[in-house]
Amino acid sequence: MKTIKLISLYIVLCATLLQSSCKKILEIDPPSNSLVPATVFKSNEVATSAILGIYSVMALSGFASGDSGSISSLCGLTADEFIGYNPNLLPFYNNQIPADNSALTALWLSIYQRIYTANSILEGLKDADNISLATKNELQGEALFIRAFCYFYLVNLFGDVPLHLSTNLQINSQTSRMQSAEVYKQIVADLKSAEDLLSENYITVERIRPNKATANALLARVYLYLQDWTNAEFYSTKVIDRTSLYSLVALNDIFLKNSSEAIWQLMPTANSNTNDGNLLILTTTPSLVSLNGNLATSVFEVSDKRKDSWIRSITNATGTFYYPYKYKVKSSATVTEYSMVIRLAELYLIRAEARANLNKLAISIGDLDKIRSRAGLPLIADTDPTINQTELLKAIVKERRIELFSEWGHRWLDLNRTRNADLILRPIKSNWQSTDTLFPISKDEITRNLNIIQNDGY
């Protein structure tokens, strides 16, 4: 156990030190904090520490951390969820992101660092004769899942991206951008392999290491984005049907550690609650982000319990500022909340949308009403049972906006995948251009690899 903690601490410490200097990271390919020493693969326990190290780093800082440079924050700004105040965040809020923006560079790097670590683990496990087959399968499944998870966000934020499937410097330093369709093929392949390798149940009482259902959940989301409605319905059903493991819980209990709604969570650092809560809960005039007032005051239906449970405000001499209150604890030595990555409500909404597109309207309404019922809203099955497909899909999109606001950039990604970004954002974003649906590739990355071509509009 002591060895595991030391290895995990080593990985986290390296990440912290290296992320303090983006320039230095760019000069090292692959990043040194992403390579797992061969000695790690000498025993089950120590090999497991390499995977645990990935989760620790993800929770600490970077794209998955819930802090101001995370996907949740940056995509909330580029959509219509957050208002930005910090000079480094304002370009996201204004949809005028320069390619040399440090938050952009850090986002790109932190995702690829996790990919490199996953690749390093996969390579190390190939010849790890001292690792039991069960442990090897589990770790391979988790590494494949992490790689797929990272590429899902890369392809949706940046479009075509370099596809790195090894730690080979010679290959990776010259890799061009792979077409999005090919990246998606790799994501699906990784997730299907992960599904075969991962355990049915969680390895521990925590829900911080993906299991088979976690791979199914991400597959359902991927197929939704690919408009493969049949597979989106199939894989979301596989998760929803695991009623002994997953259930919708009370609104104020969703983000608690080990909530039965959680499909995958990240554990905060010791003696601390989530970065999400620390960033978003306001006690004074915001210096980073706050919730868009229109979302806070005009989007929710009158009887929606989520407004009272999930939104708060502060008022001072400067004005009134709203903030998400999904996470209830800003900072505390007693950890009561974990950062939510994937949860059951999303799977109901995925299945509702897939079924609506398959013209299975009655059962689509049933899925949507699961979410509305918890929110204390009238059921569509009662108020509008003959709703047509077009209106039902609009209702599902609206429900996603409300249920998933401030979480993992869902609103931004939904606007883009449904091709509604121009329609929704142009009237409220004075600088909006159609090319803003993709982020620019980091200038440093283009300088480092001359085969990388910048996105249009930058």
Q: Has residue 282 been placed in a domain?
A: no
For residue 107, what are the CA distances in angstroms to 26, 60, 74?
A: 13, 13, 9
| Mean pLDDT score of the chain | 92
pLDDT for 40 equals 80
In a domain, 246, yes or no: yes
| Percent helix / strand / coil, the chain, rounded to 5 | 55, 5, 40
**DSSP assigned state of 84:** E
Report if residue 298 sits inside a domain. no
CA gap 163, 130 in Å, rounded: 30
pLDDT above 60 for 350 = yes
d(CA 113, CA 34) in angstroms, rounded, equals 6
Name the more confident of 127 and 180.
180
Q: Render pLDDT for 398-454 as a digit per residue (tens, 0 to 9).
A: 999 999 999 999 999 999 999 999 999 999 999 999 999 999 999 999 999 999 999
* Region of poorest pLDDT, from 28-37, 62-71, 191-200, 422-431: 28-37
The Cα 105–Cα 118 span in angstroms is 20
- Our count of domains for the chain comes to 1
**Residue 453 located in a structural domain:** no
* Pairwise pLDDT comparison (87 vs 271), residue with the higher score: 87
pLDDT score, position 19: 40
pTM of the model: 0.92
Q: Domain containing 245: what range?
A: 2-268+340-432
In a domain, 101, yes or no: yes
Q: Is 327 helix (H, G, I), strand (E, B) or coil?
A: coil
- Residue 176 belongs to some domain of the structure: yes
Is residue 187 domain-resident? yes
Q: What is the CATH number of the domain that holds 213?
A: 1.25.40.390
Q: How far is the CA of 26 from the CAs of 106, 121, 150, 351, 400, in angstroms?
A: 10, 21, 18, 41, 37
| 31 pLDDT above the threshold of 50 | no
Residue 132, SS3?
A: coil
3-state secondary structure of 29: coil
Within a domain: 416: yes
Query: For 111-141, what is each residue's pLDDT tens digit?
Result: 999 999 999 999 999 988 899 999 999 999 9
